Structure 1
Amino acid sequence: MTENWLLRAEAICMACGGHCCDEAHPPITRDRYQSLIAAGIPDTCFEHEGYLRLRARPDGTCILMKEQKCTCHAVKPETCRAGPFTFDVEGERIRIFLKHASICPLVPLLKEEPAAFRLQYERAAENIVHLVTGLSGTEIEAINRIEEPETELVAELPWGQRFL
């Protein structure tokens, strides 16, 4: 990745304004919850709808977005760190998907730079595995019910524990 590539990526994200965070409701592990609380995020920013997650405002934006920027960037949830990758768990496999450009305009730029794609994928996989490790089978089932049609499967990771 060159400095020019990083500047282009930043410009794309800034122009988008964080629409990847709309209606996202990222899952929160107990450990991440404690980190967010310690960082000053109030308990009222969380809800439990099958799994512990961040609330959204009535317009669908993440409760932690302010002026189109994340206010908890240093301790943000694993799925936020994994973007534009997402996941589900099927049997003994964690399936990792890449969101389409219609959801994340950064995807075409990632695809044109294999080193950047590989680096973001590796970070995403690490964060997703960490997240899945901290969730119960019931929480994973609830997350698996969330439809994300504008994605493509990019990897399947073996998982030693059967969740479903």
Structure 2
Amino acid sequence: MSDANGSNPKGKDKLIADVKQLAADVEELINATAEQTNKKVSSLHTRLRGSLKATRDQLIEVETIAVDKTTEAFREAVKKASEATEVAAAAVEDAMQSAEDAARKTAEAGRDAALNAAEATREASRTAAAAAKEAATKTLDVLKHWGQ
């Protein structure tokens, strides 16, 4: 039953093929019996031709609907793929910005560390110079008072 309502595309295709074959067989039967002039056969030919035309028209409509649904499903899939691509591109852009920000912060932290190290070196040099000056001054004092 699911084949007839379109939930199984292969089943629907098989049904369409079967109906087309039935239409071809009916047309062949009509042509084979066209020579018979019996009123019942003539009436049956008329009904069969009408039914055959209606069946073919319905088949065309079903196939058109199937093509339209397939086209719409394809468009929807393309739209979703496009949206997913846009989301991915935005995520890549965000990741790139985050990486750039992290690199900038790392560079700033490195610069700050270098400045702090330089300041500590200057302070240590000042302290060492002051200690050397004090030692030199005391040595001079000792030398001045050595001989006295």
Which TM-score tier does this pair reach, normalised by the shorter chain? under 0.3
| Length-normalised TM-score, structure 2 | 0.25
Say which structure is richer in strand: 1
